[in-house]
């Protein structure tokens, strides 16, 4: 590993360690999208595994199961070599979560306003899991 790679990896791990669960989710989508662009099935499988493992069935089992099935379908598309179609689905999901982040996590929240807490069918994402998916 070169010095630049080590610095980049350290930066990325610090970014992951300080991220919110929603930011970690979006990072996992980014890793999955990058793997589709590289047609890297192993990395796609890791990233989809992180997304699948983050599902919180205690919030709403039906919604979580729907996401689980969608993630399985995306993984199946990857196994068939249909990376463009997998990327289209991942991009739509990622963009939707990014909109949620913009709505519920403003960049500079006012100190007197209690922003609503977003609760979703996403469990606590382990930073290490996202790091593995991003590292490739």
Per the prediction, the chain carries an average pLDDT of: 81
pLDDT for residue 119: 41
Q: Which helix (H) or strand (E) holds 60?
A: none
pLDDT digit string (tens) for 30-69?
999 999 999 999 999 999 999 999 999 999 999 999 999 9
CA distance linking residue 136 with residue 70, whole number of Å: 22
Give me the number of domains the chain comprises.
1
Domain assignment present for residue 112? The answer is no
Q: Which helix (H) or strand (E) holds 90?
A: helix 83-104
For the whole model, what pTM was predicted? 0.73
Domain assignment present for residue 113? The answer is no
Map tokens 């007197």 to a residue: 112
Domain assignment present for residue 120? The answer is no
Q: Which domain holds residue 72?
A: 20-106+126-135
Domain assignment present for residue 130? The answer is yes
CA distance linking residue 10 with residue 64, whole number of Å: 32
Domain assignment present for residue 118? The answer is no
């Amino acid at each position: 590993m070169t010095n630049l790679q080590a610095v980049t990896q350290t930066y990325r791990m610090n970014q992951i360690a300080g991220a919110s669960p929603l930011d970690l989710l979006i990072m996992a989508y980014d890793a999955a999208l990058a793997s589709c662009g590289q047609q890297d099935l192993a990395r796609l499988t890791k990233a989809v595994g992180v997304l699948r493992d983050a599902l919180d069935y205690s919030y709403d089992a039906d919604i979580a199961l729907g996401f689980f099935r969608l993630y399985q379908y995306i993984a199946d598309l990857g196994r068939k070599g249909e990376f463009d179609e997998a990327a289209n689905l991942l991009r739509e999901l990622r963009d939707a979560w990014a909109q949620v982040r913009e709505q519920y996590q403003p960049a500079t929240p006012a100190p007197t306003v209690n922003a609503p807490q977003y609760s979703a069918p996403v469990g606590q994402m382990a930073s290490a899991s996202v790091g593995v998916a991003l590292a490739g």
